[in-house]
């Protein structure tokens, strides 16, 4: 009886104070606890693991800095991370769990456009804001009807811009008038980037002498490369992921192809230039979100802090994007004093001129980021800054 009285007394006090959290409380309400839950889903293992690992490190650094600085309004960020294993189903499972079980206030993820698009309908259904750091396919922020997806946002540039950047670079900076394209037909990112490149290159007056395709996971590209070699292009655009690009470059050189290869941000990985690929990719170019050689205080301070946390490891572009994504969400919560899903969604839609590590970020009416891109050249296995292209 005494136990029952104690329980009843506690329950009455809990109701009076409004401080207990029920299972059905929505994230960000007055009933929320002492933490703000943010979900992150990423390819921490599997074929594109370095993408997810880099983003995760950037997000973790941001969370540590926020929490070590006292949190937001006295509340700490509770980061809940799920591994997609570089799989579409893994992305869907992760988002279902983060929203349904963990009840996060917002989601960060994924890098791969295909996996982000697979998970987006879940976020839309549950009205949970999702901010992808690096999915560049044009329709990532659109719903099934082609309209702007109310809860899906990104802080990276999109493929039409990235494709335009590399087409202009090939035509104007490399003076290449004939180019071949080798794309991953099973990868929405690769297909979209190739389409944008081809359209712009032709509009500039260039000629696409050959288009070949492969599928992710393939190891032998000699048939496609042989067909390309026969057309004598002045450059080859390879808008794939680092996992295949390294092999493509190595096999191209084995076949006697000497022209530069060009690509997009999918090349950005510390494993891109390992082994024979280091020599094969020497002098090649790709577009990216930032450069470690940027001398601005924001970039150099970020690199210093990142290296201090991760044993001297240099941050890639994905790490910088992950950091920016987390910091943007934190800023919205801090400025509004609220951490509910609708407030974060509204804050993302209204974001203007946020000064991030990857540049000044404004989210437009299509939920895409307006920001610059950089072109990097591979020199001695490293990614050297070449030029900046503004929107």
Residue 110 to residue 118: CA distance in whole angstroms: 10
CATH numbers and ranges of domains, the chain: 35-157+296-372 (3.40.50.2300), 159-288 (3.40.50.2300)
Taking every pair of Cα atoms in the chain, the longest distance, rounded to a whole number of angstroms, is: 90
Angle among Cα 238, 202, 185 to the nearest 5 degrees reads 35
What would the two tokens of residue 162 be?
Answer: 């990235």
Higher pLDDT, 336 or 3: 336
> Tokens 């839609």 map to which residue?
349
CA distance 8 to 324: 46
Looking at residue 391, what is its pLDDT?
A: 78
pLDDT band at 389 (very low <50, low <70, confident <90, very high): confident
Q: Which of 390, 365, 386, 369 is nearest to 377 (CA)?
A: 386
pLDDT digits (tens, 9 = 90+) for 301-320: 999 999 999 999 999 999 99
Instruction: Report the predicted TM-score, pTM, of the whole model to 2 decimal places.
Output: 0.85
CA distances from 12 to 20, 24, 31 (A): 11, 19, 15
pLDDT digits (tens, 9 = 90+) for 237-255: 999 999 999 999 999 999 9
**To 5 degrees, how large is the angle CA 215–CA 219–CA 223?**
80
pLDDT above 90 covers a percentage of the chain that reads 89
H-state helical runs in the chain: 2-17, 49-68, 88-100, 113-125, 159-168, 188-203, 222-229, 242-254, 277-280, 297-309, 317-336, 341-349
Is pLDDT above 60 for 202? yes
């Amino acid at each position: 009886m005494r136990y029952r009285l104690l329980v009843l007394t506690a329950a009455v006090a809990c109701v009076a104070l409004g401080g207990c959290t029920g299972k059905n409380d929505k994230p960000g309400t007055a009933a929320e606890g002492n933490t703000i839950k943010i979900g992150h889903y990423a390819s921490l293992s599997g074929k594109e693991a370095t993408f997810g690992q880099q983003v995760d490190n950037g997000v973790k650094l941001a969370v540590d800095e926020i929490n070590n600085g006292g949190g937001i309004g006295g509340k700490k960020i509770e980061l809940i991370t799920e591994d997609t294993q570089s799989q579409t189903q893994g992305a869907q499972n992760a988002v279902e769990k983060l929203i349904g079980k963990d009840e996060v206030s917002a989601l960060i993820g994924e890098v791969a456009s295909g996996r982000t698009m697979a998970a987006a309908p879940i976020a839309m259904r549950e009205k949970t804001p999702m901010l992808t750091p690096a999915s560049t396919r044009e329709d990532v922020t659109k719903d099934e009807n082609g309209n702007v997806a109310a809860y899906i946002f990104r802080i990276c540039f999109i493929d039409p811009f990235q494709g335009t950047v590399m087409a202009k670079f090939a035509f104007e900076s490399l003076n290449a008038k004939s180019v071949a394209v080798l794309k991953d037909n099973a990868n929405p990112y690769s297909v979209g980037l190739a389409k944008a490149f081809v359209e712009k290159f032709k509009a500039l007056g260039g000629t696409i002498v050959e288009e070949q395709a492969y599928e992710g996971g393939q190891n032998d590209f000699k048939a496609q490369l042989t067909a390309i070699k026969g057309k004598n292009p002045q450059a080859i655009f390879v808008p794939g992921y680092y996992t295949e690009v390294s092999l493509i470059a190595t096999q191209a050189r084995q076949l006697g192809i000497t022209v530069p290869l060009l690509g997009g941000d999918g090349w950005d990985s510390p494993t891109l230039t390992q082994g024979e690929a280091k020599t094969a990719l020497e002098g090649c170019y790709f577009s990216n979100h930032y450069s470690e050689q940027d001398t601005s205080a924001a970039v150099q301070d970020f690199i210093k802090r990142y290296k201090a946390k991760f044993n001297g490891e240099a941050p890639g572009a994905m790490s910088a994007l992950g950091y920016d994504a987390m910091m943007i969400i934190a800023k919205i919560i801090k400025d509004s004093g609220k951490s509910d899903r609708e407030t974060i969604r509204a804050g993302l839609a209204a974001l203007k001129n946020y000064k991030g590590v990857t540049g000044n970020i404004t989210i437009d009416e299509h939920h895409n980021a307006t920001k610059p891109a950089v072109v990097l050249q591979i020199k001695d296995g490293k990614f050297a800054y070449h030029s900046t292209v503004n929107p």
